A and B are shown apart, each in its own frame.
Chain A
Amino acid sequence: MPVGRTHRLRHLRVFRGTPEDGGELVEYSVPVQEGMVVLDALHWIQANRAPDLAVRWNCKAAKCGSCSAEVNGRPTLTCKTRLSDLPEDIPVQVEPMRTFPLVRDLVTDVSWNYEVNRRITPFTPPEDAPEEAWRWQQEDIERVQEFRKCIECFLCQDICHVLRNHETRNPFMGPRFLVRAAGLELHPMDRADRTPYLRDGGGIGYCNITKCCTEVCPEHIKITDNAIIPLKERVADTYYDPVQVAWRKLFGRRSEGGSGQPIPGQPSADGS
């Protein structure tokens, strides 16, 4: 860390330990510089007090989503949580993400997320997709682009009470992967239908839209309003809307969406 004027000390209580020893909060005093974030303080502790303090971090610019932790009980990226925004009268408490199994200190085992991700059907363009460069309009992809801002910090997974507090009988993919699924389902060129998976293997019904995921998202993705609820509505179209279900039974396809959709940029029926 660059050396500069140090003003005063801040007290941090940092979780140290392993699953075997259970861990404890250890207190450190850290000299504070202007604009300092929690991750800066953790680095100071590493360099000066505890060289083996386990912290996962990469870019320190809120772009890679590695340094997730719980600061004063709230899941957050430590690289963009400024010390000056935290109450001065109490020590800053830093704990690992509690929803995931502990590895050591502030590092948790997030491999569960990668397992869940693999079960989602990947991007599936139509078989008759044009050979030449694809065309679509900006408005066709604006929704998808919002979902693709996700940096996979897993804070939404951490704070989601279904993953945090419940013992579900069936799998639940969590907000992060509902966002990924929405990015595929709403893609103008994707033809796979993930609604059966969303209902069963993905467990979208476990989400009771209490919006904590939206509150913690560092990329400000409106997870609940723009990803989960539209997917819930699509699942309702397929399974819970009697008129739509009857339509499918009669005509053998969804009234809208799914495999029968037009390919963007291609001449369509109305000649536009």
Chain B
Amino acid sequence: MAEIHTSPDTLPAVSTRMHTPGGTALQGLGRTSRRDFWWLQPGIVAAGFGAFIVYSLFSALVWQPMFHVPYEVDGYLSPFFSPLIQPNWLPWWISPAVLILWIPLGFRTTCYYYRKAYYRSYFADPPACAVGEPTIHRRYAMERAFPFILQNIHRYFLYLAFIPLLFLWIDALYSFVNTGPRFGLGGLVLLVNAGLLTGYSFSCHSLRHIVGGRLDCFSCSSLARVRYRAWQRLTGLNQDHMLWAWVSLVSVALADLYVRLLAWGVLVDPAIRL
């Protein structure tokens, strides 16, 4: 017998091996051993977002300038346009929505839930769990490099998002009195929409972090204990962040549609006037 190797080897050794483990997974878009309908969920998400994007672009940018359907009628303002800013220098063909819509757009684009959803549905990165990706983006650096490193400013969009949110509440409440006291379906629609958007904003991961996630010790001071209780509440909301994201997305589109249909004359707002 021959001795071939004598060293106090350490295992696991820190080596300069590959950055990833180097296995035998199937590569290439859609390659997988999964036998279920893995494409269904990303497909539904892609279709849902797609419908919203098409509708909201049309409604916010085109509907009024091109087809002259107003976004404000009878004391109701579409949530896409709130707060309404109409400077004189704005040409007629640019909708005032662009001055405000970038805030919720930025908030949702950098949102941790939406990121998951569009990375899967639109970037196929990955299309579904344990399903191969297009080899074209195998080497890109994801959220380590531009542009996706910008996702880290999510919290600033959160701060900004509270501004239009405040106005949506004002709009909704004001709609009950601004044309004389009335209780209209439109007011209710705006109110529900503001509530759902509030739920979405308060279930934000960044807010949860700012309120309590930064602390390592929840019991170390009375302020920390207050923050812990708030963090617990936000954690409860945060668990359903995906749900909030979807219902608020649908509600904002429906609220806009409702106002537009009133303005178009298709619907009449059922209201009790006092």
Contact = CB atoms under 8 A, between A and B. Distances in A.
Interface stretch (B23-31, B162-170, B175-183, B249-257): B23-31
Given A212-B130, A272-B221, A206 B143 contact: yes
B205 A205 contact: no
A73 interface: yes
B148 A208 contact: yes
Nearest to A108: B23
A158 to B, nearest CB: 8
Interface in B146-163: 148-149, 152-155
A98 B213 contact: no
| Of B22, B34, B35, most A-chain CB atoms within 10 Å | B35
A194 to B, nearest CB: 12
Majority secondary structure, B binding face: loop
A262 B130 contact: no
A211 interface: yes
A162 B222 CA distance: 42
A107 interface: no
A233 B212 CA distance: 12
Interface stretch (A31-39, A45-53, A55-63, A263-271): A263-271
B35 A87 contact: yes
Nearest to A205: B144
Given A208-B125, A210-B126, A270 B223 contact: yes
A225 to B, nearest CB: 7
B266 interface: no
Chain A: interface residue count, which band?
35 or more
Contact of B221 (A72, A139, A187, A268): A268
B133 interface: yes
Contacts of A81: none
Interface stretch (B8-16, B84-92, B192-200): B8-16
B114 to A, nearest CB: 10
A144 to B, nearest CB: 9
| Of B129, B141, B142, B148, most A-chain CB atoms within 10 Å | B129
Contacts of B15: 115
A261 B217 contact: yes
A251 interface: no
Contacts, number: 213
Contact of A229 (B34, B142, B145, B205): B205
A90 interface: yes
A86 to B, nearest CB: 9
A111 interface: yes
Given A74-B34, A166-B139, A203-B144, A119 B217 contact: no
Nearest to A258: B216
Contacts of A93: 33, 35
Interface string A169-192: 111100000000000011110100
B5 interface: no
A157 B21 contact: yes
A134 B153 CA distance: 38
A255 B211 CA distance: 13
A219 interface: no
A98 B132 CA distance: 12
Contact of A206 (B23, B33, B144, B153): B144
Contact of B25 (A98, A136, A186): A98
Contacts of A236: 152-155
A165 B143 CA distance: 16
A99 B141 CA distance: 19
Contacts of B205: 225, 229, 233
A166 B216 contact: no
Interface of A: 70, 72-75, 87, 90, 93, 95-102, 108, 110-115, 117-119, 136-137, 139-140, 157, 159, 161-172, 185-188, 190, 203, 205-212, 215-216, 224-225, 229-230, 232-237, 239-241, 256-257, 261-265, 268-270, 272
24 contacts: A90-B35, A99-B25, A100-B22, A115-B15, A119-B14, A139-B228, A140-B217, A157-B21, A164-B25, A166-B20, A207-B142, A207-B143, A208-B148, A209-B112, A209-B115, A210-B126, A212-B126, A212-B130, A239-B152, A240-B149, A262-B217, A263-B220, A264-B219, A272-B225
Interface of B: 11-15, 17, 19-27, 32-36, 112, 115-116, 119-120, 125-126, 129-130, 132-133, 138-139, 141-145, 148-149, 152-155, 205-206, 209, 213-223, 225, 228, 238-239
3 closest cross-chain pairs (CB), A and B: A205-B144, A73-B33, A114-B12
